[in-house]
Structure 1
Amino acid sequence: MIQRRAFIASVAASAAAGLFAPRLFAAPLAGMNGAELRGPIDAIAYKATPGTSDIKSGKLQAMIDSAARNNVPLLLPPGNYTVSNLTLPDNTRITGVPGATRLVYGGDGHLMTADKARRIELSGIVFDGGNRWLADYAGGLLQFTGVDEVLIDNCLIAGSRKHALQLERCGGRIERSRISGAAEAGIYSVQSAGLMVTGNSVEDCGNGGILIHRWEKAEDGSSVTDNRIARIGANGGGTGQNGNGINVFRADDVLVSGNRIADCAFTAIRANSASNVQVSGNQCLRSGETAIFCEFEFEGAVINNNLIDGAANGIAVANFDKGGRLATVTGNIVRNLSLTAPYAQESGFGIGISAEADTLIADNVIENAPLWGLKLGWGPYLRNVVATGNIIRHAGIGCVVSVADGAGSALISNNLFQEMEKGAISGFRWDKPASGDLAAGNSEFPQLTIERNRVV
């Protein structure tokens, strides 16, 4: 009797033979009218063996060009390929063995670039920059310009002296990849066309994690979701232009959701002049400055259901003086803040949530904010801010509201304050106290409605 395992093995062998026989042995089919049956191009067929330098031979470039021209993928077997200055034509598809196929940058310019292509696809490849010099024209180890669809999946990009991955005027999807050790940013995208960055790990980069920028303020439509970002430095200095896990600059209609961001020198998520941004469901741990920051010329920000543990400030919706307005800040947990930050500022640090204009702050929990739990307005920059249904525990002052000359209206109601060191609700003129505790009642400032708050 034939044993079960032997029978299964014989069936599998027969199936494999049937699958590969037509490609290897069969004569051309008469009914194809000259059309070819094409399979993938294998690096071995071009004698581009791993473990040797291909900087001058151009064998890998020839394979890339041939595969793209014939509309087939290029398969690279495991091993190290030392290469430089590769140019990817339209329709390039390169696939390696994840973690085992390594393209090692040999220096003398750049590793890989593509320009004005419809589609470029890379998967299962390690790109190792070796921290080697990149030419002045190269913004990143991998650089794509004007590519309609860049698809990078299950790759590792490490050791770039500049950005690891730079995309200019590109769309597509960067996913399931690991990026580490870039001297600048892990991913720098400018003028995106609905780029999706999802499920990646970005770690140990010198100046930024994932950057979604534009040269001028306009619709962008990118999404940055479900990434893990950690240990982002600010080696370039400054007061916020570097050191951010996710930075959205002048790019409207961007979604930032489901990311875990830890140990950034400045901000976990910073949206600068970015309208209609949605920041939802992120974990922001141990930020050096403000964990979530919406600033400068923006209109429209939804900040909801985020968890912030450890930062100098929790959430800031700022710069009404520059046009920053119109936001909701709801359902967030903000806790364990610090009085110290990378620089000094007039209003100080240790603030849970702050906002200035046309903003709803509702249903948040703030705990351990050593300066203020809530900050409503700054100087004359206060208009139509509502703070309701929040829980503030253990803060210096529970809620500070601007009563400076020119400050507008605010509604503070139905909040719960517990363990306040210096009072529950206080009016301030800039950084100076201007009232006693207003939680018990307010007759001095008619622009403020303060009611039904509880202090325990």
Structure 2
Amino acid sequence: MLNRRGLLFGATGFSVLAPTIPSAVLASPMSQSGTASRRGAVDATTFGIRPGAFDDQSRAFSRMLQSASDTGTPVFLPPGIYVVSGLSLPRRVWLSGVPGATRIIYGGDKHMILADDADRIELSGIVFDGASRWIDEPLQGLLHFRRVRELVMESCDVVGSGRSGIALERVGGRIEHCTVSRAADAGIYSIDATRLNISGNRISDCANGGILVHRWQTGDDGTMVTGNRVERILARNGGTGQFGNGINAFRADNVMISNNSILDCAFSAVRANSSSNIQIVGNSATRSGETAIYAEFAFEGAVINANLVDRAANGISIVNFNEGGRLASCSGNVVRNLSAKGPYTPAPPGFGIGIAVEADCAATGNVVENASLYGMMIGWGEFMRNVVATGNVIRQAPTGIAVSVAQGVGSAVITDNLIEGASNGAIVGFEWTRSVTGDLSKDGVGGYTQLTVDRNRAS
């Protein structure tokens, strides 16, 4: 859970409203064609709403949206700047504007927009500007949607929120082709979703997280997070991974995270915590401060496939068998350029591990290059069971594959791997952090009958 903390960015005055939309823009062909393209839509100006006015127009907005909800009528908001505060949406809203030209700015009183117990909310083509102003507890977002059966947000911009950009509680529907930037917490923060789609969005410059898919208690969530660009995510609240992640699933089962481009996150590009049946597929993770892709703690079932990781402290970690983390497939990933440096002083064995797996896992067909510690780590102390590592290519890691041989470990099969440039050994047995064998690829497994090491090529 995100920490409900105060404003991280300095509040700004109404000077941000100064650049009003010129009258020529208000009467532009774009405005006219926008109205014409929404046949049957009510023009907001007929309710006395005035583009470019400096006074708060929340009451007029409320009357307009309630009337439109009662009659089932869409509303078109012409280009211009509108100031609102404390706006609560009725059960049905269809509000559209001209992308980039229709701008609603938060006036700073209590909250900006709240929808609670609604049937359908559809917003498109609108810029929502929080002006970095304070948002009252308990609301968590500039746009806060609670118990909305179907939310549709398309082609909207959400900027400068004093908390999260978009906060969702028990919401279904979709958020597509939107931009969320400069949020003081997360870009998009979802709790207890009902089959939500988050796709094709751009999330950037947020202080504590990019896209968060959380649940109060572990359960089926089903959110799909696909095709988003997530960039420059900080961890202003500190910690060792609670914040600073590009995409984060927590207690959320059956979530798919695919084909996202994720750059410059303080911690992980993708972090799944206690989330079973998670799919992390086809993502690009560049310059992650800690572990780029994580499946951790109490999960059962993870597919981590065809991801590209470049520059991180650790590449891919599928771990915490001690907490029940088990059952995974890790295949076809490319992991490269891993550093021993991270955002905090790590516990042993440290940073610089390409791929780490622990229990009931097949790691096949991966390529790891330039890992500063281990190319692959199989198990940690006594926590290793039923691991197959086959057909992997590992280049330029001091230890190619580190496999646990501590007392109580289960079985591992390590075959048909190609390992190049491992100065400390291609395949080495460890008891926790201490190496206790020679190179198993040359010397054989000896008395470690739980291991099968065969047909590996080391050079």
Aligned to 2:135: 134
CA contact (8 A) 2:57 2:82 kept: no
> 1:22-41, aligned counterparts within 5 Å?
39-41=40-42
User: Would the aligned equivalents of 1:109 and 1:138 in 2 still touch at CA under 8 Å?
Assistant: no
Contact conserved, 1:297 with 1:324, CA < 8 A, in 2? yes
Number of the residue aligned with 2:453: 450
Does the C-alpha gap of structure 1 residues 57 and 382 become closer, same or farther in structure 2, counting only changes over 3 Å? Answer: closer
C-alpha distance in structure 1 between counterparts of 2:155 and 2:245, whole Å:
24
**Structure 1: runs of 5+ lacking an equivalent:** 1-15, 21-37
Residue 56 of structure 1: how far off its partner (Å): 5.9
Q: Distance in 1 between matches of 2:337 and 2:423?
A: 16
8 Å CA contact 1:127–1:158 kept in 2: the answer is yes
Does 1:307 pair with 2:280?
Answer: no
Report the identity percentage.
Answer: 54
Q: Deviations over 1:81-103 (max 9, x none)?
A: 01111111111010000000000
SS of 1:209's equivalent? strand
Does residue 177 of structure 1 match 2:193? no
Aligned residue number for residue 11 of structure 1: none
Match of 1:407 in 2: 409
Kept after mapping to 1: 8 A contact 2:49/2:57? no
Which residue is 1:29 aligned to? none
2:14 maps to none
Q: Is the 8 A contact 1:40 1:67 kept in 2?
A: no
CA distance in 2, matches of 1:140, 1:86: 13
Distance 2:240 2:171 in 1: 29
Show the 5 A alignment for 1:90-239: 90-239=91-240
Distance of 1:395 and 1:179 partners within structure 2: 39
Deviations 1:247-293 (A, max 9, x none): 00000000000000000000000000000000000000000000000
Larger Rg: 1
Following TM superposition, by how much is the alpha carbon of 1:408 offset from its aligned partner in structure 2, in angstroms? Answer: 1.1
Question: Alignment partner of 1:118: what SS?
Answer: strand
Q: Report the CA distance between 1:57 and its aligned residue.
A: 6.1
- Residues 164-190 of structure 1: CA deviation (Å, up to 9, x unaligned): 100000001000000000010000000
In structure 2, what residue type is equivalent to 1:414?
D
Shift of 1:347: 1.4
Q: Which residue of the partner structure matches residue 353 of structure 2?
A: 351
Residues 196-239 of structure 1: CA distance to partner in whole angstroms, max 9, x if unpaired? 00000000000000000000000001100000000000000110
SS of the residue 1:104 aligns to: strand
- 1:47: how far off? 2.1
Q: Which runs of 5+ in 2 are unaligned?
A: 1-31
The aligned amino acid for 2:455 is R
Q: What is the SS of the residue equivalent to 1:68? A: helix
CA spacing shift, 1:149–1:317, aligned 2, 3 Å: same
Does the 8 A contact of 1:196 with 1:222 survive in 2?
yes
SS at 1:58's partner residue? Answer: helix
Aligned residue identity for 1:442: V
Paired residue total: 423
Asked if 2 retains the 8 angstrom alpha-carbon contact of 1:302 and 1:327, the reply is yes
| Alpha-carbon distance in 2 for matches of 1:413, 1:118 | 55
TM-score with structure 1 length normalisation? Answer: 0.91
| Cα shift at 1:419 | 1.0
Alpha-carbon separation, structure 2, partners of 1:139 and 1:54 = 25
User: What residue identity is the alignment partner of 1:265?
Assistant: A
Residues 309 and 334 of structure 1 are in contact (CA less than 8 Å); yes or no, is this contact kept in structure 2?
yes
Distance, in Å, in 2 between the alignment partners of 1:57 and 1:248 is 35
Match of 1:427 in 2: 429
Deviation digits for residues 430-452 of structure 1, max 9, x if unmatched?
Answer: 01111111111221311110000
Using the TM superposition, give the Cα deviation of residue 407 of structure 1 relative to its aligned residue in structure 2, in angstroms: 1.1
Deviation at 1:51, TM superposition (A): 1.1
- By how many angstroms is 1:453 displaced? 0.1
Query: Which amino acid in structure 1 is aligned with residue 151 of structure 2?
Result: V
User: Aligned residue for 2:52?
Assistant: 51
Q: Does 2:326 match 1:319?
A: no
Structure 2 counterpart SS, 1:278: strand
CA RMSD of aligned residues (A): 1.5
Report what 2:15 is aligned to. Answer: none
For residue 54 of structure 1, report the CA deviation from its aligned partner: 4.7
**In 1, Cα distance between the equivalents of 2:424 and 2:189?**
44
Residue 279 of structure 1 aligns to a residue whose secondary structure is: strand
Cα displacement (A) at 1:59:
1.0
CA–CA distance in 1 between the matches of 2:187 and 2:175? Answer: 12
1:338 partnered with 2:339: yes
